Amino acid sequence: MLSKPELFTRLAEGHAAGITVVTPNVRLAQELTAEFDAFQRSKGLPLWEAPDILFLDAFVERLWEEALVSGHGAKLPLLLSSAQEQHLWEQILEKSGLLAVPQAAAQCRDAWRKRHQWRIRGGPAGEDTAEDAAAFLAWSREYERRTRGEVDAARLPDVVLDFVRRKPALLVTYAFDIVPPQAKEFLARFELAECQPDAHEGKALRCSFASAKEEVEAAAKWARARLEGGARRIGVVVPDLRQRRREVARIFSRVMRPGYNLPGVEKAPLPFNISLGLPLDSYPLAGAALDLLELAFGALAFERASRLIRSPFLFDAEGERARRAALDVWLRRELDATVPLAKLVGATERSPQLRRCLEAVFESVQGVQAQTPAEWARGFSVVLDAAGFPGERVLDSEEYQTLGKWHEALAELSRLERVSKGMSSREALAVLRRLCADTLFQPESPDAPVQVLGVLESAGLRFDCLWVTGLTDEAWPLPARPNPFIPLALQKKAGMPEASAESSLDLDRRLTAEWTRAADEVVFSFPAKDEDRDVAPSALILGIAEGEVAIAEFPRYRDMLFNNKKMVEFEDAKGPAFAGREVRGGTRVLADQAACPFRAFAKWRLAADELDEPVDVPDARTRGILLHAFMKFLWQELKGSGALSKNLQPALTAAAAAAVKEVELEGRFAELERERLVRLGGEWLEIEALRPPFAVALAEEKRKIEVSGLVFDARIDRMDALPDGGHVLIDYKTGAQSSLKLWLGERPDEPQLPLYALSAKEDIAAVTFAQLKTGEMRFRGYSKDKGVLPRVEQPDNWKGLLAVWKKETEALGAGFAAGEARVDPKHGLATCRLCHLQTLCRVHEKPHLLKGEE
Ligand code: SF4
């Protein structure tokens, strides 16, 4: 056993000493190299030979590469890449009837590797998993047959040494804990020495936090405090880092550098590094390339097409940035939820360069005559070139590295040539997408003092201080994770640590002990609650003394702004008065003014419109338009109560067909809507039949309405003439929300119908909602006299009611005309819940405004 100083002294002799160090993972190799460099620097050396320290798997592969260029190269079996292995397994499983073939293929690869690593031989032994295991053995035989003359990573350690001419004089294993039999046999063929990391005699304590989020937040603040206190190597372990990576990155970024993500702030490396990379396809550059190819060879969901046309990675994206953003808003109203390339080309006239770019893509696709993976890789490159990918903007470092990784993914697709038959464009794209999804990628950044790690990467590392989070009794020790394709008994017998709860406990107990030796200060923590549920600490940390960690408070960027004492208070509740007379938006403007003056100001004066989301099925708005059109056509045919005693079916059917045609619905949805309208209309006419005689005077009629000197467009759903000369104003409502409260009190929620009544030249005898909800159909409103409509109310004073409406609607009109823009949601949270303006009005900075009814 070599001590670390002895190891470094030997490594300092340089390459001539022939020493190679292997580690159980990449991170340990990097850390040991950094430590050795520090050791050399501490001696005042200006330069030295780089030590030969690498991950064991990389060492095995390097031996194969060395053999390839040696005299044995011709006899050496070719090494399959992991993508080639995966592809072969997928081909074998294609006929298995399994649903998730790529996932099953990945498990097969894992089982294949484990059988070799742990020297598991033999077949299933009458277990629950026997069926899976038997199937796996059959697939393995096929895999073996197909890979004859080749080798994969699982078998490479067993064969590579037969071709190696020159071995290191001494091979040192560093920080190994579990060594599977295959690795043992491989290592035994070298002159071998062992080295283990130094142990710290540190102080460990255990603490808890109210939630997992607070726990990570505290760890981030603690790390920043230690960093500012002079610590150079700080570790934070997050066991479920893969699932929580984004949240953890956000918290650490915010704590380490408040305001890091403000627009215009120069991108600078943050002082922490997260060990786990992200899938390549989650990087915008690779995502844009994949979306462009999917669009080029088929169609794209609108959301992704929208992102693509606004992406900086297409031709002249910078020059047409504003134009493309405006185009996106327009396309949202014009296109469907799925967009084929030809349709998008036709819709991009407003953005000439984009159109040119998409036309070039369209043409390039016609020229792609690919069949094999290599041909597809070339074809995809041609299409991307035609789109001007990756744009004319200078890429930043992260984008530049992503581009390199993207080219590697294309090359990997090309290399599938060796193991694949022909592919369709869909298959080739699916393979490329999966390659990108499986490639975890982390752009290189300068060495960071704070390391955020998963459990396995933390093993063997040494720090000045270390915090291990998330150690609840449910999360630690990790549950057993046996591979379903190897009989459980064989996995247990082989001693695989993840095969059973006992061996997993054993391994995690050792890891916990290892953490306590990893730094001078070690904190173990757990969240005491998971939402509302109490959570207990892991039994593995119960022996560690409870204590409290001092958590320094670091202000958020927002607090820093508020606290800088240079605040200028500015009451901003009023905009400039409305200068014109005609108001766009119709009488909805006054409904918004009633709900919240700021909402009306932002929507109708600043045009802060909500973006449309194209959908495949008719949405609530379309169904509303459809219903109004249906009623219009129906009453054009029926004309009044006189027709209600006849057979109504033909009129209902014709009106439904005309409405569906007017709204341009087609296919199955058109059929369903026609049926729905006929059903709804039939039910509603039964209510109409209960009324005294009437004739429909107008339907869907546009009028101009003047309020407080402003002119609004209005559309009256329907007005019926009564035999005595009175008129009934009707407003269709599809929900059950037609309460009369909507017309009453200050700032009435629905001022439209009162406005129509006040401005009508006709003699109004009743105003009413027609509540068109299946099972709850009824009129709901006010009439001047009894008996005008079934179940409507008579106010004590009809004229008084009209006077109140006049006062309230004029107050709303006057407020809007004066530029009134108070952030004042009428029903608090209930008003804001469905409003899209929350980030603009910043109502959440005034929580007292949000206490309203839900
Ligand atoms: S979110 Fe609420 S406060 Fe803000 S504009 Fe909308 S309704 Fe008004």
- Residue 129 binned pLDDT confidence (cut-offs 50, 70, 90): low
The closest alpha carbon to 670, from 699, 642, 716, 629, belongs to 629
Q: Is residue 44 scored above 90 in pLDDT? A: yes
Question: How far separated are the first and last CA of the chain, in Å rounded?
Answer: 69
Mean pLDDT of the chain: 92
pLDDT digits (tens, 9 = 90+) for 783-804: 999 989 988 999 989 999 999 9
Provide mean pLDDT across the span 574-603: 95
- DSSP letter (8 states) at residue 80: P
Is cis: bond before 477, omega within 30 of 0?
Answer: yes
Task: Using DSSP bridges, classify how beta strands 450-453 and 234-237 pair: parallel, antiparallel or unpaired.
Answer: parallel
- Residue 40 binned pLDDT confidence (cut-offs 50, 70, 90): very high
Rounded-to-integer distance, Cα 21 and Cα 58, Å: 11
Residue type, 221: K
pLDDT digits (tens, 9 = 90+) for 178-217: 999 999 999 999 999 999 999 888 799 999 999 999 999 9
Q: Which residues pair with 205 in a beta bridge?
A: 523
Query: How many angstroms does the Cα of residue 828 sit away from the middle of ligand 1?
Result: 9
- DSSP letter (8 states) at residue 335: S
**Roughly what angle, to the nearest 10 degrees, separates helices 588-595 and 597-604?**
140
Q: Is residue 123 scored above 90 in pLDDT? A: no
pLDDT of residue 854: 44
Q: Which phi and psi (to 5°) does residue 729 adopt?
A: -95, 130
- Residue 238 binned pLDDT confidence (cut-offs 50, 70, 90): very high
Rounded-to-integer distance, Cα 268 and Cα 178, Å: 39
Provide mean pLDDT across the span 486-514: 92
Q: Which residues pair with 706 in a beta bridge?
A: 711
Rounded-to-integer distance, Cα 648 and Cα 652, Å: 6
Residue type, 66: E
Q: Which residues contact 269 (CB under 8 A, 6 or more apart)?
A: 445, 446, 448
pLDDT of residue 477: 93
Residue 272 tokens, joined: 């922490």
Residue 444 tokens, joined: 């290189």
pLDDT of residue 738: 67
Report in angstroms the alpha-carbon separations of 110 from 77, 178, 394, 485. Answer: 21, 18, 41, 9
- Residue 752 binned pLDDT confidence (cut-offs 50, 70, 90): very high
Q: Is 838 in the pocket of ligand 1 (CB under 6 A)?
A: yes
pLDDT of residue 685: 95
Q: Is 599 in the pocket of ligand 1 (CB under 6 A)?
A: yes
Q: Is 600 helix (H, G, I), strand (E, B) or coil?
A: helix
Rounded-to-integer distance, Cα 189 and Cα 409, Å: 35
Element of type H or E holding 589: helix 588-595
**Cβ–Cβ under 8 Å, residues 255 and 559:** no
**Mutation to probe ligand 1, out of 601, 838, 839, 842 (largest number of atoms < 8 A from CB):** 838
Q: Which residue has the higher pLDDT, 619 or 55?
A: 55
Q: How many CB atoms lie within 10 A of CB 729?
A: 21
Least confident of 406-410, 663-667, 764-768, 844-848: 844-848
Widest pairwise Cα distance in the chain: 114
Q: Is 56 in the pocket of ligand 1 (CB under 6 A)?
A: no
C-alpha 333 chain-centroid distance: 24
Query: How many angstroms does the Cα of residue 579 sit away from the middle of ligand 1?
Result: 24
DSSP letter string, 285-301: HHHHHHHHHHHHTSEEE
Q: Which phi and psi (to 5°) does residue 605 adopt?
A: -110, -40
The closest alpha carbon to 793, from 780, 774, 807, belongs to 780
**Cβ–Cβ under 8 Å, residues 599 and 836:** no
Ligand 1 atom, smallest distance to 599 CA: 5
Q: Is 823 in the pocket of ligand 1 (CB under 6 A)?
A: yes
Share above pLDDT 70 across residues of the chain, in percent, rounded to a whole number: 98
Is cis: bond before 390, omega within 30 of 0?
Answer: yes
Element of type H or E holding 22: strand 19-23
Q: Which residue has the tokens 């320094």?
A: 552
Q: Which residues of 688-712 are buried (b: 16+ CB within 10 A; e: fewer)?
A: beebeebebbbbeeeeebebbebeb
Provide mean pLDDT across the span 106-129: 81
Rounded-to-integer distance, Cα 293 and Cα 379, Å: 10
Rounded-to-integer distance, Cα 308 and Cα 295, Å: 10
Side-chain-facing half-sphere of 184: CA atoms under 13 Å: 8
Q: Is 423 in the pocket of ligand 1 (CB under 6 A)?
A: no
Query: How many angstroms does the Cα of residue 717 sit away from the middle of ligand 1?
Result: 28
Q: Is 717 helix (H, G, I), strand (E, B) or coil?
A: strand
**Cβ–Cβ under 8 Å, residues 147 and 153:** no
Q: Which residue has the higher pLDDT, 588 or 570?
A: 588
- Residue 259 binned pLDDT confidence (cut-offs 50, 70, 90): confident
The closest alpha carbon to 183, from 110, 111, 107, 116, belongs to 116
Q: Is 831 in the pocket of ligand 1 (CB under 6 A)?
A: yes
pLDDT digits (tens, 9 = 90+) for 623-649: 899 999 999 999 999 999 999 998 999
Q: How deeply is 533 buried, as exposed, middle or buried, from its count of CB atoms within 10 A (0-12, 13-18, 19+)?
A: exposed
Q: Is 837 in the pocket of ligand 1 (CB under 6 A)?
A: yes
| pTM across the whole model | 0.81
**Cβ–Cβ under 8 Å, residues 272 and 451:** yes
User: Which residue is closest in CA terms to ligand 1's atom 7?
Assistant: 832
**Cβ–Cβ under 8 Å, residues 102 and 90:** yes
**Mutation to probe ligand 1, out of 831, 846, 848, 849 (largest number of atoms < 8 A from CB):** 831
Residue 569 tokens, joined: 């208070």
Q: Is 596 in the pocket of ligand 1 (CB under 6 A)?
A: yes
Query: How many angstroms does the Cα of residue 604 sit away from the middle of ligand 1?
Result: 14
Rounded-to-integer distance, Cα 781 and Cα 791, Å: 8
Q: Which residues contact 428 (CB under 8 A, 6 or more apart)?
A: 370, 373, 376, 380, 413
pLDDT of residue 268: 78
Q: Which residues pair with 521 in a beta bridge?
A: 203, 465
Q: Is 594 in the pocket of ligand 1 (CB under 6 A)?
A: no
Q: Is 666 helix (H, G, I), strand (E, B) or coil?
A: coil
Rounded-to-integer distance, Cα 825 and Cα 224, Å: 40
Q: Is 598 in the pocket of ligand 1 (CB under 6 A)?
A: yes
Query: How many angstroms does the Cα of residue 743 sit away from the middle of ligand 1?
Result: 21
**Cβ–Cβ under 8 Å, residues 604 and 712:** no
Q: Is residue 171 scored above 70 in pLDDT? A: yes
> Cα 504–508–513 angle (5° rounding)?
155
Q: How many CB atoms lie within 10 A of CB 571?
A: 6
Query: How many angstroms does the Cα of residue 596 sit away from the middle of ligand 1?
Result: 6
Q: Is 600 in the pocket of ligand 1 (CB under 6 A)?
A: no
pLDDT of residue 267: 74
Q: Which residue has the tokens 């969901």?
A: 301
Q: Is 533 helix (H, G, I), strand (E, B) or coil?
A: strand
Q: Is residue 537 scored above 50 in pLDDT? A: yes
Residue type, 540: L
**Mutation to probe ligand 1, out of 601, 834, 843, 845 (largest number of atoms < 8 A from CB):** 843
- DSSP letter (8 states) at residue 198: P
pLDDT of residue 852: 53
